[in-house]
């Protein structure tokens, strides 16, 4: 093992941190974790009442060590400025989803990419899903003090001050709440904000700094935990993906800008806790998490570090050590540690050394992983340039999807390196297993800048993969930021282009999925594959609850009456089948308007 400058191994330092954390009870819980039992939650009615009222009514229970029931943390955005759900629409989705789980009308599935690639993820058992009303739930408005309740005319200044302090303590305790929870539910159906009239969805949820912090705290918990995304009463998916290693809390949106630095420091602490936990359990991939720290904290660390100190920090014997598939060059590339990278390359480190390395939760499932594929996905432009200058290959596929380096950068939303890779002749049309390319990968990811860069590089906005999906339909499928769809439509993506499978093999795959639909045993992935062959982007948006993208498509004259399949399903039919309430209302309004216009124009003639 290497040693630090003080003569103590890095692992010993980490173990000391673990012991300190364990002796203090782990992450600090400054305010009690108040929970509402599922059976009580299911009976709540409009209006949704605050913590103080429900506590006074005896409807809440307090978490204690050894809590006997499953605990669920609910992460969501508020639909109002002073109330989380003024019309009880978002909370009703939660109640309906739990009832559907209880009765077996819906089941928790994996997200689309994880299911396609058969990536193993933690999943509640069928029995646990049916017993979901036996769970206890943390929900901010119900579980935290609410300032809007206390400051009435009779409340003393002391009471108001105490309430503010308790709320601050509860907010500071959120990482601990996530750590104690067995599952985290992301409650993010596509709904309109009451005052701002903007669409809130999984995309907007993922852009907020505090929502990202809740995701990070869940992922970095000691045990593997399910992140369950509820986007409609019948659509519940265990979510994995690159967002938690690319979209850090400190890079998110904030109402209070000072929170950015707070969350950057918190993320660093959560990473240190995760590394400690992995080290304590004897898992060597703590090194991967350690290498993420500079980007997660938003600042470079160990500038002009020498190789010996770097090896000490990672407890590596020498420059050629390979531990759990991670080489020193890969770790330095992930960190963006260019001084160490240069030293390693000078010492003849193999720039294209290939390893097989997997982190399913981040969709890193590589059969061929190199320092460049890691850096292209997760690191800086400087790190990528250092590898390219050392003649790293741009042509090695990576991952179960067979993605090339440019596709990897686009999928992980790494806009800072994408242009550089293309300038160095990286192939943005290197086909994946499904015949996709970098533009499709970018449109299904979080960073709109990647889509912009690819379109500026003259990527074809109407390119189809083997089953007929386009970038526009991918943005609908993954309900990504509507900025992707806006850029694609501005670049003349056809809003009414029907997908077409490329050959008999893929047409047969689509046909098999249609048969599953007809037999009544289709999952959402069957629906999406089937719709890709013959459906329009608006069909995809309606099926997947992509409200804001659907509105954009209709602004660009998408056909709201377009039909698909033997049963001639319209976008409205699909939105109704998935119970996307605001999208149903939007489509019905658009249909009426267009029919009224048609009648008016006919009468004029």
Domain that holds residue 579: 499-605
225 and 306 share a domain? no
What pLDDT band is residue 419 in, cutting at 50, 70 and 90?
Answer: very high
Same domain, 253 and 105: yes
Q: In terms of DSSP H, where are the helices of 124-258?
A: 126-130, 140-143, 157-172, 174-180, 202-207, 209-219, 243-246
Q: What domain count does the chain have?
A: 3
Q: Are residues 247 and 305 in the same domain?
A: no
What's the alpha-carbon Rg for the chain, to the nearest Å?
25
Predicted confidence band of residue 11 (pLDDT cuts 50, 70, 90): very low
Q: Is residue 352 part of a domain?
A: yes
Residue 435 lies in a domain: no
Same-domain pairing of 167 and 95: yes
Residue pair 527/517 in contact (Cβ under 8 Å)? The answer is yes
CATH code for position 388: 1.25.40.20
Q: Are 128 and 31 in contact (CB under 8 A)?
A: no
User: Do 107 and 169 sit in the same domain of this protein?
Assistant: yes
Residues 262 and 300 in one domain: no
For residue 52, the model assigns a pLDDT of: 94
Is residue 241 domain-shared with residue 335, that is, in the same domain? no
Half-sphere exposure at residue 482, Cβ-oriented, CA atoms within 13 angstroms: 17
% of the chain residues with pLDDT over 70: 92
| pLDDT score for 162 | 55
The answer to whether position 417 is within a domain reads: no
| Residue 110, in any domain of the structure | yes
Least confidently predicted of 167-171, 337-341, 386-390: 167-171
137-150 pLDDT, tens digit each? 999 999 999 875 44
pLDDT digits (tens, 9 = 90+) for 545-563: 999 999 999 999 999 999 9
Which pTM was predicted?
0.88
Phi, psi of 38 (to 5 degrees): -55, -35
- Residue 66 sits in the same domain as residue 160: yes
pLDDT tens by residue, 275-316: 988 888 888 889 999 999 998 988 877 778 999 999 999 999
Lowest mean pLDDT, pick from 17-26, 163-172, 370-379, 464-473: 17-26
Q: Is residue 445 part of a domain?
A: no
User: Residues 296, 164: one domain?
Assistant: no
- 493 found inside a domain: no
Considering the domain architecture, whether residues 162 and 190 belong to the same structural domain is answered as yes
Q: Is 4 inside a domain boundary?
A: no
Residue 364 is predicted with a pLDDT of 79
Please identify, among 361, 385, 400, the residue that sits at the C-terminal boundary of a domain: 400
The domain boundary residue, chosen from 333, 367, 400: 400
DSSP helix/strand/coil, 284: coil
User: What is the predicted pLDDT for the residue at 439?
Assistant: 98
Average pLDDT, the chain: 89
Convert the pLDDT of each residue in 82-137 to its tens digit.
999 999 999 999 999 999 999 999 999 988 888 877 778 888 999 999 999 999 99
Higher pLDDT, 435 or 239: 435
Is the model's pLDDT at 210 over the cut of 80?
Answer: yes
Look at residue 252 and tell me if it is in a domain. Answer: yes
Residues 233 and 302 in one domain: no
User: What letter does residue 152 receive in the DSSP assignment?
Assistant: S
**Do 316 and 228 share a structural domain?**
no
pLDDT of residue 356: 81
- Among 267, 298, 324, the domain boundary falls at 267
């Amino acid at each position: 093992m290497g040693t630090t400058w003080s003569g103590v191994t890095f692992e010993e330092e980490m173990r000391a941190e673990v012991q300190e954390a364990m002796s203090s009870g782990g992450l600090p819980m400054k305010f009690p974790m108040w929970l509402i039992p599922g059976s009580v939650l299911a009976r709540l009615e409009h209006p949704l009442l605050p913590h103080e009222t429900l506590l006074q009514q005896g409807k809440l229970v307090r978490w204690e060590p050894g809590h006997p029931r499953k605990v669920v943390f609910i992460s969501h955005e508020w639909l109002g400025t002073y109330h989380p759900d003024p019309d009880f629409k978002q909370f009703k989705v939660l109640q309906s989803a739990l009832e559907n789980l209880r009765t077996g009308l819906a089941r928790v599935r994996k997200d689309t990419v994880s299911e396609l690639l058969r990536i193993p993820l933690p999943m509640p058992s069928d029995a646990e899903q049916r017993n979901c009303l036996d769970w206890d739930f943390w929900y901010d408005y119900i579980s935290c003090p609410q300032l809007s309740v206390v400051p009435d005319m009779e409340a003393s200044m002391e009471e108001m001050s105490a309430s503010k302090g308790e709320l601050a303590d509860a907010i500071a305790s959120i990482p601990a709440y996530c750590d104690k929870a067995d599952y985290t539910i992301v409650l993010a159906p596509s709904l309109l904000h009451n005052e701002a009239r903007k669409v809130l969805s999984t995309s907007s949820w993922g852009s907020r700094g505090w929502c990202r912090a809740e995701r990070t705290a869940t992922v970095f918990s000691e045990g593997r935990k399910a992140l369950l995304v509820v986007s409609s009463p019948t659509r519940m998916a265990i979510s994995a993906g690159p967002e938690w290693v690319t979209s850090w809390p400190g890079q998110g949106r904030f109402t209070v800008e000072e929170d950015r630095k707070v969350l950057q420091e918190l993320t660093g602490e959560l990473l240190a806790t995760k590394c400690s936990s992995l080290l304590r359990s004897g898992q060597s991939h703590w090194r991967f998490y350690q290498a993420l720290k500079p980007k997660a904290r938003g600042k470079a660390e160990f500038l002009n570090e020498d190789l010996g100190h770097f090896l000490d920090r990672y407890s590596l014997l020498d420059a050629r050590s390979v531990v759990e598939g991670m080489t020193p060059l890969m770790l330095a590339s992930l960190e963006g540690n260019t001084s160490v990278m240069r030293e390693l390359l000078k010492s003849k480190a193999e720039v294209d050394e290939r390893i097989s390395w997997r982190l399913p939760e981040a969709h890193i499932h590589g059969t061929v992983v190199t320092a460049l594929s890691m850096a292209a996905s997760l690191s800086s432009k400087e790190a990528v340039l250092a590898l390219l200058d050392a003649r790293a290959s741009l042509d090695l596929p990576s991952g179960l999807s067979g993605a090339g380096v440019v596709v990897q950068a686009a999928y992980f939303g790494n806009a800072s390196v994408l242009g550089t890779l293309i300038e160095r002749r990286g192939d943005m049309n290197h086909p994946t297993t499904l015949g996709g390319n970098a533009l499709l990968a970018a449109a299904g990811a979080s960073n709109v800048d990647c889509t912009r860069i690819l379109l500026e590089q003259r990527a074809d906005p109407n390119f189809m993969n083997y089953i007929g999906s386009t970038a526009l339909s991918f943005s609908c499928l993954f309900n990504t930021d509507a900025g992707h769809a806006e850029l694609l439509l501005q670049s003349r993506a056809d809003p009414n282009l029907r997908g077409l499978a490329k050959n008999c093999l893929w047409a047969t795959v689509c046909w098999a999925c249609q048969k599953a639909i007809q037999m009544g045993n289709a999952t959402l992935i069957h629906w999406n594959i089937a719709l890709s062959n013959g459906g329009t982007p608006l069909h995809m948006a309606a099926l997947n609850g992509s409200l804001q993208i659907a509105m954009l498509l209709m602004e660009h004259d998408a056909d709201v009456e377009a039909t698909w399949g033997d049963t001639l399903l319209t976008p409205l039919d699909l939105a109704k089948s998935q119970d996307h309430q605001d999208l149903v209302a939007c489509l019905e309004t658009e249909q009426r308007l267009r029919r009224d216009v048609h009648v008016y124009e006919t009468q004029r003639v």
